[in-house]
């Protein structure tokens, strides 16, 4: 029988800005337990480490002069043999990547047991205020700045005709962020044929708000157009409290011995949006708590590209990102991009992501792990080149950059399928190298063992280049004038992409066995199918699986035995180089057998 226990914990204010924690503890089985509840915060708006939070000084205060807010907390941890380390997965739009569902009932619902079996306490803390209203997603219950109004913009494309569209951010067919309700039923709706094409205003009589969060268009919204509505909202959430929630929960866990998640070390991991949040967190100085103590000892900002995000300004929309068509022109890919200072050719200012952390002596160990997609569609090259794309940049000793070659932002299914792209989706997965890098990051922090050297393409050796083949262009972050809505586009920051070999596979980075012993070309880009509009544009998040002809495969390998032998050698080398973990070798080889069968027998 599973046990549930209510825990009420009052934290010591001198140790952290967590006021108290309410959780219920439940057994998941013989090895693990979960804690579910809320964390309650009270932050001092006058503290120097809080003055960076936009509009915090305009929030209501309690009798002690502090601003109160709360966040959902979700924790899974071993019952015994814990390794004294808190591993915080920064939640992507309220989700939990390591779990098979949002609220596991048993240990079988843990999708990826790698961290749990190694003794980590894994936690998710709500930081996004406008997560879609589904149970068991973690969210921030943010204070607001009452009485303030301002312009809000929502842009979107559709893959099929619809009459009504939300003003919230739709991602992957679902709401990524609910956005801000319109304060009035007035606004401007435009359409355009390309990201920087001229906006055409749709007459007011042909569209209207059907509710404060939905817009109707006569004749419907159709594929092949970028739509943009600008309207007035009021009472903005103080979105930057999400950064403070992460900071203060982790500090509480590290520095309050009575904390329900008391730990000696803390690591942060984020995927895409939440990887960008970690880059933003470090940049804005949140890795020092209110007392100036270091928060995260290490972070892995995964598939974040060169981005930060909509995480700390008035009427910020945290879910918005930068995709080939929409969303566009949000505060996502802004200078600085690299850890060390560079000079912005637009503003002339010199700055680096780590400047504040260096000044306060709270620089964490950092891994930046990115796939091919981030070079094609998220500006990743700017993390290690000058802002003009002319030469390689030095990276600090406290950081590593790992390029996961031949993998897309979102791994596709196997067998490969075609889903709104012109090519089959790339099925290659990044979890096997990530597991090995988690071990390397832990060893770096725990006992000073240097991690593997950075693996990424360089201008100097010809492995980082301008695109000259399909697709013809890659994403280049926009230089924006953010004083207007919509922002004015002043130019772009040049980006570069990894060079490929004669077989279409990339020649630099961490090259998994599928890339080194190929049956296909595995790319980080896919073009949109004409049926969903913009067939010349890259599809969001996916890559391509471009199969070799059967005759070509049999030229490369005499038979399956030779293929599997070379595949095994490639996997063993990755284990030696600390980019694969030994216990995952058998699963990798079983996948190789399925790859061979599919490549030789699938209909073309």
Per-residue exposure over 282-318, b if at least 16 CB sit within 10 Å of its own CB, e if not: bbbbbbbbbeeebbbbbbbbbbbbbbbbbbbebbbbb
Q: Is residue 133 part of a domain?
A: yes
User: Does residue 62 share a domain with residue 100?
Assistant: yes
Confidence grade of residue 16 (pLDDT, cut at 50, 70, 90)? low
pLDDT at 603 over 70: no
Average pLDDT over residues 328-342: 97
Give yes or no for a contact between 150 and 236, defined as CB atoms under 8 angstroms apart. yes
pLDDT at 15 over 60: no
- Say which range, 15-19, 100-104, 287-291, 358-362, has the weakest mean pLDDT: 15-19
pLDDT at 10 over 70: no
Domain boundary among 284, 299, 321: 321
What CATH number is given to the structural domain containing 248? Answer: 3.40.50
User: Does residue 130 share a domain with residue 216?
Assistant: no
Give yes or no for a contact between 495 and 476, defined as CB atoms under 8 angstroms apart. yes
SS3 (DSSP) at 451: coil
Give the pLDDT confidence score for residue 13 in this predicted structure: 45
User: Does residue 245 share a domain with residue 183?
Assistant: no
User: Does residue 245 share a domain with residue 219?
Assistant: no
Average pLDDT over residues 192-200: 97
- State pLDDT tens for residues 20-67: 999 999 999 999 999 999 999 999 999 999 999 999 999 999 999 999
Average pLDDT over residues 180-185: 96
Kindly list the distances between the CA atom of residue 424 and the CA atoms of 229, 428, 431, 523, 541, in Å, as whole numbers in the listed order: 34, 12, 21, 10, 13
- State pLDDT tens for residues 226-280: 999 999 999 999 999 999 999 999 999 999 999 999 999 999 999 999 999 999 9
User: Does residue 19 share a domain with residue 137?
Assistant: yes
User: Does residue 112 share a domain with residue 68?
Assistant: yes
Domain count, the chain: 2
Confidence grade of residue 539 (pLDDT, cut at 50, 70, 90)? very high
User: Does residue 98 share a domain with residue 65?
Assistant: yes
Per-residue exposure over 498-522, b if at least 16 CB sit within 10 Å of its own CB, e if not: bbbeebbbbbbbbbbbbbbbbbbbb
The fraction of the chain above a pLDDT of 70, given in percent, is 96
Give yes or no for a contact between 380 and 415, defined as CB atoms under 8 angstroms apart. no
Q: Is residue 399 part of a domain?
A: no
Per-residue exposure over 438-464, b if at least 16 CB sit within 10 Å of its own CB, e if not: bebbbebbeeeeebeeebbbbbeeebb
Per-residue exposure over 581-602, b if at least 16 CB sit within 10 Å of its own CB, e if not: beebbeebeebbeebbebbeee
Q: Is residue 391 part of a domain?
A: no
Confidence grade of residue 173 (pLDDT, cut at 50, 70, 90)? confident
Q: At what angle do helices 585-601 and 560-576 cross, to 10 degrees?
A: 150
pLDDT at 316 over 50: yes
Give the pLDDT confidence score for residue 471 in this predicted structure: 81
The pLDDT mean for the chain works out to: 95
Report the C-alpha gap between 79 and 77 in whole angstroms. Answer: 6
User: Does residue 256 share a domain with residue 137?
Assistant: yes
Domain extent at residue 125: 4-143+238-321
pLDDT at 335 over 50: yes
Report the C-alpha gap between 553 and 381 in whole angstroms. Answer: 32
User: Does residue 133 share a domain with residue 263?
Assistant: yes
Domain boundary among 234, 262, 288: 234
Give the pLDDT confidence score for residue 2 in this predicted structure: 45
Confidence grade of residue 197 (pLDDT, cut at 50, 70, 90)? very high
Give the pLDDT confidence score for residue 346 in this predicted structure: 85
C-alpha of 271 from chain center = 3
User: Does residue 49 share a domain with residue 68?
Assistant: yes
Give yes or no for a contact between 209 and 185, defined as CB atoms under 8 angstroms apart. yes
pTM over cut 0.85: yes
Average pLDDT over residues 343-356: 95
Give yes or no for a contact between 221 and 162, defined as CB atoms under 8 angstroms apart. yes
Q: Is residue 327 part of a domain?
A: no
Residue 417 CB coordination number (10 Å): 12
User: Does residue 10 share a domain with residue 109?
Assistant: yes
Domain boundary among 207, 234, 261: 234
Q: Which single residue is written with the structure tokens 């979102």?
A: 410
The fraction of the chain above a pLDDT of 90, given in percent, is 94
Give yes or no for a contact between 121 and 85, defined as CB atoms under 8 angstroms apart. yes
pLDDT at 602 over 80: no
Q: Which single residue is written with the structure tokens 């284990």?
A: 575
Average pLDDT over residues 388-407: 98
pLDDT at 11 over 70: no
Report the C-alpha gap between 435 and 122 in whole angstroms. Answer: 14
């Amino acid at each position: 029988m599973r046990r549930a226990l209510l825990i009420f914990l009052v934290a010591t204010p001198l140790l952290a800005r967590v006021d108290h924690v309410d959780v219920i503890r439940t057994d998941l089985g013989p090895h693990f337990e979960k804690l579910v509840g809320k964390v309650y915060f009270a932050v001092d708006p006058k503290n120097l480490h809080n003055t960076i939070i936009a509009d915090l000084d305009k929030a209501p205060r309690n009798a002690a002069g502090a601003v109160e807010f709360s966040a959902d907390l979700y924790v899974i941890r071993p019952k015994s043999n814990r390794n004294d380390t808190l591993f915080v997965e920064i939640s992507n739009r309220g989700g939990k990547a390591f779990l098979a569902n949002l609220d596991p009932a048993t240990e079988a619902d843990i999708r990826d047991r790698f961290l749990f079996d190694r003794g980590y306490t894994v936690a998710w803390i709500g930081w996004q205020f406008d997560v879609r209203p589904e149970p068991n997603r973690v969210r921030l219950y943010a204070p607001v700045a009452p009485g303030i109004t301002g312009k809000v913009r929502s842009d979107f494309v559709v893959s099929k005709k619809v009459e009504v569209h939300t003003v919230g951010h739709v991602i992957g067919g679902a709401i990524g962020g609910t956005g801000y309700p319109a304060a009035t039923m007035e606004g401007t709706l435009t359409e355009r044929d390309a990201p920087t094409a001229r906006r055409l205003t749709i007459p007011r009589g042909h569209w209207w708000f059907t509710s404060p969060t939905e817009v109707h268009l006569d004749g419907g919204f159709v594929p092949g157009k970028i739509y943009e509505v600008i309207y007035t909202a009021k009472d903005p959430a103080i979105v930057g409290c999400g950064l403070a929630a992460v900071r203060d929960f982790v500090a509480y866990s590290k520095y309050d011995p009575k904390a329900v998640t008391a730990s000696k070390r803390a690591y942060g991991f984020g995927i895409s949006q939440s990887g960008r949040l970690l880059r933003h967190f470090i940049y804005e100085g949140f890795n020092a708590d209110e007392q100036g103590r270091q928060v995260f000892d290490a972070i892995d900002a995964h598939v974040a590209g060169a981005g930060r995000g909509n995480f700390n300004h008035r009427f910020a929309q945290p879910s918005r990102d930068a995709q080939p068509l929409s969303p566009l022109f949000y505060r996502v890919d802004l200078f600085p991009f690299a850890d060390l200072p560079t000079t912005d050719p637009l503003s002339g200012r010199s700055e680096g992501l780590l400047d504040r952390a260096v000044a306060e002596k709270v620089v964490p160990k950092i891994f930046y792990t990115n796939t091919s997609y981030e070079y094609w569609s998220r500006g990743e090259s700017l993390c290690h080149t000058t802002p003009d794309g002319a030469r390689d940049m030095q990276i600090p000793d406290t950081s590593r950059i790992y390029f996961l070659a031949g993998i897309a932002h979102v791994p596709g299914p196997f067998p490969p399928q075609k889903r709104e792209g012109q090519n089959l989706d790339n099925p290659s997965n990044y979890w096997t190298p990530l597991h090995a890098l988690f071990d390397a990051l832990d060893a770096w922090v725990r006992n000073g063992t240097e991690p593997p050297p950075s693996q990424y393409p360089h201008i100097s050796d010809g492995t980082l280049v301008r695109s000259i083949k399909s697709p013809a262009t890659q994403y280049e972050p926009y230089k924006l004038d953010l004083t207007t809505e919509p922002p004015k586009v002043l130019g772009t920051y040049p980006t570069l992409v990894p060079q490929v070999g004669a077989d279409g596979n990339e020649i630099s980075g961490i090259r998994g066995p599928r890339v080194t012993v190929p049956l296909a070309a595995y790319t980080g880009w896919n073009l949109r199918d004409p049926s969903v509009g913009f067939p010349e544009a890259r599809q969001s998040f996916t890559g391509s699986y471009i199969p070799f002809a059967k005759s070509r495969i049999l030229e490369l390998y005499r038979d399956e035995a030779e293929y599997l032998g070379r595949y095994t050698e490639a996997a063993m080398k990755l284990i030696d180089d600390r980019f694969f973990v030994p216990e995952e070798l058998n699963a990798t080889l079983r996948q190789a057998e399925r790859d061979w069968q599919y490549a030789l027998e699938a209909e073309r």
